[in-house]
Structure 1
Amino acid sequence: MEKTLKASLRSRLLFSTHFSVPWLLLSRSTPSPRRQDSRSIETLAYEEVRPSEGPYNSTAFVLHGLLGSGRNWKSFSRNLALELQKRSSVWRMVLVDLRNHGRSAGIKGLDPPHDMGNAARDLANLVKFREWAWPEVIVGHSMGGKVALEFVASCARGDYGESAVLPKQLWVLDSVPGEVKSDASDGEVEKVLHTLKSLPSSLPSRQWVVDHMLSLGFSKSLSEWIGSNLKKEGEHVTWTFNLQAAIDMFNSYRETSYWSLLEHPPKGLEIAIVQAENSDRWQGDVLQKLEGLCRKGETAGGGKVSLHVLPKSGHWVHVDNPKGLLEIMTPNFISRA
C-alpha cells in the first residue's frame, strides 16, 4: 500500500527539494520592467545555472510542471551542465518560473487567458526583452513539456516575429502530447486542486495546512509537499502560486493536443520524448502512435521524433531516476552547431 501511494504521488504531482549549488555559477533574476511602445512590460522570473563563470556555447530553457517552480530542476540542471561540459560543450541552463508559479506568481501584467499559448509567449517575451539569443534546446516536464511544444508550434507559425529562431531540440519529459482525458488517471490532481480551492487564501500556518490535508486522507508526503508551497505574510501564510490561474493552465494542458506538430515537425528540429517506465500516463495507443512516428526518421522536408524509455521511474523523473535521465539526455543532447 505504501509503495502504491508513493507511486501515485510521484505520478500525479511534481516537486523536488531545493538543492544548493555553491560550486556552480548560479544567478537569480527578478523580473524588471522594459519599455516597448510606451508600455511597461514585466517578464518571467528565472535563474541561471552554468558550470563556470566563463563564456557558454549555448542556452537551454528548463520548464517545470504544475504547481512547481524552476528551483525543482536546479540539481538536475547542474549535473546535466557538468556532464555536457565534459564533452566540451558549455551550456547555460535557464530555469524558468512559468506564469502563476514560483516567483512569477507575483508578477503583474501576465494577463489571462492562462493557457499554453500565453505561457509559451511568455518565453518569447523573456528572450526579446532580455535581448538574448533564442534557446537552442528547451526541456519541459509534464505541463512544461506542452508549453515547450506550444513554443515550437507558435515559433514555426511566425507568431513571435521574424527574429524568432526555432530550437534545435525539445526534450518532452513524461508529458503525453495529446489530450489528457480525466478518466485516464486516478483523479488525484483534481482532488488536490479542489481541496486547495476550498481553503481561504490566508491560512493559520503551514502545519495547519499539513494537518488538514492529512485529515482528508492525503498521504503524509503529499501533505507536507503542499505545505512547502506556502509563504509567510504577517501572522498568516499564503500560497506561492496563483491557484485559480494554475487551475486554468492545468485545464489548458489537458485539452491541448500537439499530435499534428509531432506528425510534421519543422525541419532541423528533434522532439525527444521521454516516457517514464512506471508512469501511469501512457496508454497503449499513444505509445504505438509515437513508435510509428519514430520509425519514420528524419525526412528531407522535416524534423524527427525520438522516444526514450526511462527505467525504474514514475512521473517524477528527475527525482526517481536522475542518473538514468542523465544517461539518456547527455549523449543525445545536441552539439554546438
Structure 2
Amino acid sequence: MVLRNSFAGSRLLLSNFLSPWPLLLRSLSRSLETIAYEEIRASDKPFDSTVLVLHGLLGSGRNWKTFSRNLLSDLNKSCPSNEWRMVLVDLRNHGRSAGIKGLEPPHDMVNAARDLSNLVKCHGWAWPDVVIGHSMGGKVGLEFVSSCACGDYGESAVLPKQLWVLDSIPGEVNTNDSDGEVEKVLHALQNLPSSLPSRKWVVDHMIEQGFSKLLSEWIGTNLKKAGEHVTWAFDLQAAIDMFNSYRQKSYWSLLEHPPKDLKIEIVRAENSDRWHQHDLQKLESLAKKERRSDEGKVSVHVLPNSGHWVHVDNPKGLLKIISSNFISKD
C-alpha cells in the first residue's frame, strides 16, 4: 500500500484487500461554502461516470469507504471499459462538513440536497450519473432528483440515471413512532456529555445501553480527538433538526410519477424497524405499476439478515443487490 500526503491535491493510493485493483482515494480541496467530500477511483485514468454516496444520520462519508471501494471493484469487473469514480460526501453538520461556514439554517432536506448541487457547480463537475443514499441520505437523494427534475438547480442540471434509496421511508414518518432504533440512539447520545473519555468508553457505554456491538462500534467511528478526550464528528442538535425534516418530508408523489429515464431503486432491510404495513403495500403497488413512456421506473429489493444499518449488518448482501442491478454504461 502506497500512501501520500492527501492535502493540496496530492493523492493517497490504497490497495483494496478484497480486490486486485488499486484504488485511489483523494481528499480534494473545497471552498468554505461547499460540503466536504472524498473521492475514490480505481486509477489515474480520466473518469467517465460519477456516483455520489450519501450517508445517514450521525454518519459521514468515511462510513461508506469500504463498501464504495468494493462496489467500484465490482463495477470494474463488470464494465472494464468505463471508468467510475465514487464521491463520498459529508452532509451538512456531519463529518468534516460540521461547522463549515456558509452552510446556514434551516438544516433540512431541501438545503442538504442543494449542497450537492452547489458542490457540483463549484467544482465544475459533470452531474452525477448515480446517487446512493442511506436512511436520511436516501431522502436527500430523493430531494436532489426531484429538484433536478423541477429545474430548481438551473438549466445546467442533469438528472441522474439511477437513485438508490437504502432503507429510507419515502413518506412522512409518524412522530408518535418514537421508539425506533434511530430515536433510541439519538436519545442516548443526547444524554452524554459533549466531551467523552475515549472511543472505547463510548462503545462500552452504548453496549451497556442495550445496543448491539456492531452498531455501538459504528457509532464510535464518528468520534474525533479533542485534546485528551474525544467528541462527536457531527453537530448533534443540527443533525436532530435534519432528522426532523427527514420525518416530515414525503416523496411518494415522486415515486408515483418518477421523471423519465430515472430508475429509483428502493432497498428495504428485512429486519428494519422503519417500515409499517401501509408503506410496504405502497411500495409493492409502485413496483408493479405500469409506467407511461414519459415516466421512470421504481424497483424494490429486500436485503436479508439486516436491520436499518445496512452497511454494518449485511454489506455483502447489499453489494450483491446494487452490483447486479446497477445501470449499464455500455
So what's the TM-score if we normalise by structure 1? 0.85
Instruction: Note if 1:25 corresponds to 2:16.
Output: no
Alignment equivalent of 2:39, drawn from 42, 48, 64: 48
**Bigger proportion of residues as helix:** 1
The SS at the match of 2:24 is: strand
1:193-249 per-position Cα deviation (integer Å, ceiling 9, x unaligned): 234334443344445545655665555555554444322222333211111110101
Q: For structure 1, which segment, 265-274 or 288-297, has the greater mean C-alpha deviation from structure 2 after superposition?
A: 288-297
Counterpart residue identity of residue 24, structure 2: L
Instruction: Note if 1:57 corresponds to 2:48.
Output: yes
The SS at the match of 2:308 is: coil
The SS at the match of 2:267 is: strand
Counterpart residue identity of residue 128, structure 2: P
Name 1:76's counterpart in structure 2: 67
Are 1:24 and 1:49, in contact at CA under 8 Å, matched by a contact in 2?
Answer: no
CA RMSD between the two structures: 2.3
* Identity value in percent: 73
Instruction: Note if 1:154 corresponds to 2:154.
Output: no
Q: For structure 1, which segment, 194-203 or 241-250, has the greater mean C-alpha deviation from structure 2 after superposition?
A: 194-203
In 2, the alpha carbon distance for the partners of 1:293 and 1:209 equals 42
Counterpart residue identity of residue 81, structure 1: L
Residues 24 and 319 of structure 1, relative CA distance in 2, 3 Å threshold: farther
Counterpart residue identity of residue 330, structure 1: S
Name 2:267's counterpart in structure 1: 274
1:185-334 aligned at under 5 Å gives the runs 186-210=179-203, 213=206, 222-334=215-327
Are 1:297 and 1:305, in contact at CA under 8 Å, matched by a contact in 2?
Answer: no
Residues 213 and 272 of structure 1, relative CA distance in 2, 3 Å threshold: closer
* Higher RCO structure, 1 or 2 (CA under 8 Å, sep 6+): 1
1:61-100 per-position Cα deviation (integer Å, ceiling 9, x unaligned): 0111111111111111111111111222331111111111
Name 2:160's counterpart in structure 1: 167
In 1, the alpha carbon distance for the partners of 2:181 and 2:267 equals 22
The structural deviation recorded for 1:128 is: 0.3
Structure 2 gap segments, 5+ residues each: 1-13
Which contiguous aligned blocks of 4+ residues in structure 1 show a shift greater than 6 angstroms? none
- Between Structure 1 and Structure 2, how many residues are aligned? 312
Are 1:46 and 1:94, in contact at CA under 8 Å, matched by a contact in 2?
Answer: yes
Name 2:94's counterpart in structure 1: 101
The SS at the match of 1:92 is: strand
Name 2:118's counterpart in structure 1: 125
1:35-75 per-position Cα deviation (integer Å, ceiling 9, x unaligned): xxxxxx52111111122222222111011111111111111
The structural deviation recorded for 1:259 is: 0.4
The structural deviation recorded for 1:266 is: 0.7
Structure 1 gap segments, 5+ residues each: 1-18, 34-40
1:21-44 per-position Cα deviation (integer Å, ceiling 9, x unaligned): 4853333325532xxxxxxx5211
Counterpart residue identity of residue 54, structure 1: K
The structural deviation recorded for 1:188 is: 3.6
In 1, the alpha carbon distance for the partners of 2:105 and 2:29 equals 18
In 1, the alpha carbon distance for the partners of 2:108 and 2:157 equals 21
In 2, the alpha carbon distance for the partners of 1:248 and 1:214 equals 26
